[in-house]
Amino acid sequence: MNLGLLVFYFFAALAVVGAAMMVTRKNAVHSAVYLVLTFVAVAAIYVLLDAEFLFAVQILVYAGGILVLFLFVIMLVNQEEPRRYSGGRLHLGLSTALTLILFGMLATVFVKEAPQAGAAVAPMAEGNLQMIGWLLYRNYLIPFEVVSVLLLVAMIGAIVLGRPRA
C-alpha cells in the first residue's frame, strides 16, 4: 500500500468521524467545531485528488463562510430546552432501515461504476476548472438549474418567515 492511499484513508476516516461527532453532540457549538473538522478533512481529500479549485472553494466558502453563518445563527437564536420525542423505538428502527437501504443503494452504484472510473468524461477539457465547467454546464445542467430554483425558494421562505408580523 502506498503512502498516498494511507493518507487518503486517514482523511476519509477523519471526515466520517467528524461527521458522526457533529451529528451526535448535544452542544451546537461543539457540533459546529466538528463540522469544521469534517470540512477540512474533505478539503484535504480534494488536494490528494489534484482538485485544487475544489480545495479552495471548500476552505473559503464552506469552512469559512458557511460555518461563520452557522455560528452566528447558533449564538443569536434563543435556545430553549428541546422537547422530547416520545416515539423512540419506532423512529430508531425506521431510521436504521432507511439508512441501510441508502447505503445499499450507494454501494450498488459504486460497484457498478467502479470499472468506468478511468474513462474520459470531457475530451475538450484541459484542466481541473475546465472539467468542472464542462460537466456542470453540459452533463448536469438540469440538476444545476433545479438546485438554483430550490435555493431561490429557500431564500424567499427565509424572508417570509423572518419578516416582522404586522
Rounded mean pLDDT, 6-31: 92
Query: At which of 24, 51, 78 does a domain end?
Result: 78
Say if residues 35 and 22 touch (Cβ distance below 8 Å): yes
DSSP at 138: I
The residue ranking higher by pLDDT, 125 or 41, is 41
Beta strand segments in the chain, E: none
What single DSSP character describes residue 49?
T
Last residue of a domain, one of 44, 78, 112: 78
Residue 105 lies in a domain: no
With cut-offs at 50, 70 and 90, classify the pLDDT of residue 124: low
User: Does 98 reside within a domain?
Assistant: no
Identity of the residue numbered 98: L
Residue 6 in 3-state DSSP?
helix
Final residue of a structural domain among 59, 78, 97: 78
In a domain, 10, yes or no: yes
Radius of gyration for the chain, computed over Cα atoms and rounded to the nearest angstrom: 20
Q: Degrees (nearest 5) of the Cα angle 124, 129, 3?
A: 105
pLDDT at 160: 75
Count Cβ atoms below 10 Å from residue 55 Cβ, excluding itself.
19
Helix axes 28-48, 3-24, angle to 10 degrees: 160
Provide the percentage of residues in the chain whose pLDDT is more than 70: 83
Give how many domains the chain has, as a whole number: 2
pTM above 0.75, yes or no: no
Q: Report the distance separating Cα 95 and Cα 87, nearest Å.
A: 12
- Give me the domain span that covers residue 46: 1-78
In terms of average pLDDT, the best of 51-55, 65-69, 72-76, 125-129 is: 51-55
Q: Which three cell numbers stand for residue 77?
A: 437564536
Do 8 and 68 belong together in one domain? yes
Does a structural domain hold residue 85? Answer: no
